[in-house]
Amino acid sequence: MTHQIKSNIPNTVTCLNLFSGCIACIMAFKTEYELALLFILFSAVFDFFDGMLARLLHAPSPIGKELDSLSDNISFGIAPSFIIFSLLNEPDMVYPAFLMDIREYIPYLAFVMAVFSALRLAKFNIDERQTSSFIGLPTPANALFWGSLIVGEKDFLINHVNGVIILLFVFLFSYLLISEIPMFSLKFKNLSWKGNKVSFIFLFICIPLLLWLGIRGFSAVILWYIILSLITKKSKQTF
């Protein structure tokens, strides 16, 4: 009986991730962008702890793995897609004149990101290379980028950025999700500089970005993460 309870604790936390992701979708559809981002952050916290609890309690399970991928696609794939959809659907969003006849259909292209998020999660499940680092942009990082960017810069994006430009970035980030670009993990095996140099450099820059930019700092942090991953990849190829 005790073992059964222990085995269900990680899955319960994963379900909380899913529950928060569903609420984030609804908040995004209502254009409550701040609340959508808040529930995405809740999902990210639950996503962090379900894996940790599974390891601590020695309770990994096949159903937990599948449930985790489903939850992550709702919270970090569909929810940010809904946020972008709602933004592109704003009445004041600017589009080129030649697209005005199909303007109402353009926002649906935001859900390309949900599709690529699902592909990224499926790839992660079968890719044995991603045990201590990532190949491609992790879905929580992608969701956090879009949520914080739209919350922090909503008025600027609506009034000064063409909707097609936003969609081009949606396609770019969709590619990053399934790309073969190595991206480092923030898992610390110890606190030595030698073994964690990239992670320490990343964190040293993150702190001033968050203090300076506030909520927009999260999107800047994700861009910094991508740039540092690319620099690290190039350095390894050079040496």
How much of the chain exceeds pLDDT 70, in percent?
89
Query: Where do the domains of the chain lie, and which CATH numbers do they carry?
Result: 2-183 (1.20.120.1760)
Query: Which own/partner pairs from 219-225 qualify as long-range (CB within 8 Å, at least 24 positions apart)?
Result: 219/144, 219/145, 219/146, 219/148, 219/149, 219/152, 222/141, 222/142, 222/144, 222/145, 223/145, 225/141, 225/183
Residue 190 has pLDDT above 60, yes or no: no
Q: What is the pLDDT confidence band of residue 178, given thresholds at 50, 70 and 90?
A: very high
Rounded CA separation 223/86 (Å): 23
Res 2: pLDDT? 59
Confidence bin at 77 (pLDDT 50/70/90): very high
pLDDT digits (tens, 9 = 90+) for 89-148: 999 999 999 999 999 999 999 999 999 999 999 888 877 776 667 889 999 999 999 999
- Is residue 204 over pLDDT 50? yes
Average pLDDT, the chain: 88
Candidate from 2-6, 43-47, 156-160 with smallest mean pLDDT: 2-6
Q: What is the pLDDT of residue 238?
A: 47
